[in-house]
Amino acid sequence: MESKAPKIPRIRRIFLITFIAELVAFAIISALPISDPALYASFNGQRSAITSQPYFSLWLSIFPHNLMIGSIEFIPVIGLLMFIISMGETAVVVSVEGTATHVSGFAIFASLMLLPHSWLELPAYAVAASTGIYAIYVYSRYKNQGIAKLFWTYILVSVIEFGSYFAFAKDFTGSAGSILFDVIVDGVAIFLFYLMYKKVSGKAKRSIGTIIYMYLFVIIELGFAGAIEAAEIKIEETAHPFNALFMWIPGAAIIVFLIMLYRYWDRYEYPKYMKNDNNENNGENNEIKF
């Protein structure tokens, strides 16, 4: 008899929908004529404080902050809310900057999209948010296979992280404490999913394994994004700011590598790996290995 459990959608489809929605919303909000002199002054002050740092310190200011946001976006429901808030806040800042400088906010958005770090950072957030949505489907289908308690423990840990972000994380962005906090929380989250992975078999194992790999993927992608963005910022401070476009040379290679990595870690959603997908009994042979 066919199972009545909900069918799990492909994670890459959720990602594509999320990423396209992110780009469209970002473009629309940035084009709005929003005026907020106080926000613009605050943004300029924060930007000056960050960009004045040496390259490695600059990367340490960018990467842990972005990773904290990306980690929260993995949380089912709450993560989608964080995704919307962080994207909206960034778009509003772009709009305010455009209004203050008498330049179209959409033009500023377009200029950001000419730089490679945008095509690393924005997709990473979409991967995180889409995986949070995917995790809901995985839980609803396999909750009776012994993963329920571990899943809700993960939710509890993630909610603590969410609260901590708004409570104190912004006060030590780039500090050793911030990095350690990211490492601990992400490590606990990945470990909890690994315990879920060990409890199940077949397609359940494959689905939970994909979530673990998406966690690792976002960490890697945001690390690269921070490195590229820090280099762009330092180049833009020189007499030839347009040379920042040369960061597409390493940026393009990194993007190609990440696409290949994503396809490999999510390989069972691609045709050449799906020939036995309807055979539940062969699930153990197709499961993701750690």
Give tens-digit pLDDT for 39-57. 888 888 888 888 888 999 8
Q: What range defines the domain where residue 143 resides? A: 11-270
In a domain, 288, yes or no: no
Residue 25 lies in a domain: yes
Q: Output the pLDDT for position 133.
A: 95
Mean pLDDT, rounded, for 263-267: 89
Residue 19 within any structural domain of the chain: yes
Check residue 5 and give its pLDDT: 53
Stretch 210-234: mean pLDDT, rounded?
96
Residue 251 · residue 228 · CB < 8 Å: yes
For 8-28, what is each residue's pLDDT tens digit? 678 989 999 999 999 999 999
Nearest to 264 by CA among 213, 222, 219: 213
Distance (Å) of CA 123 to CA 17, 133, 231? 11, 15, 19
Where residue 274 falls among pLDDT bands split at 50, 70, 90?
low
Domain contains 78: yes
238: left (phi over 0), alpha (psi -120 to 50) or beta: beta
Specify the pTM.
Answer: 0.89
Q: Could you give the percent of the chain with pLDDT greater than 70?
A: 85
Of the listed ranges 23-27, 40-44, 162-166, 259-263, the least confidently predicted one is 162-166
Q: Is 70 exceeded by the pLDDT of residue 162?
A: yes
Tokens matching residue 30: 């940035």
Cα separation, 217 vs 214, whole angstroms: 5
pLDDT range class, residue 275, cuts 50, 70, 90: low
Q: Residue 49 class from Cβ within 10 Å (0-12 exposed, 13-18 middle, 19+ buried)?
A: exposed
Judge whether 48 lies within some domain.
yes
Average confidence (pLDDT) over 171-192:
76
**120 in a domain, yes or no?**
yes
225 vs 175, which has greater pLDDT?
225
What's the pLDDT tens digit per position in 76-88? 988 999 999 999 9
Domains held by the chain: number: 1
Cα–Cα distances in Å, from 217 out to 28, 38, 118, 184? 28, 37, 16, 17
Residue 195 covered by a domain: yes
- Residue 27, in any domain of the structure: yes
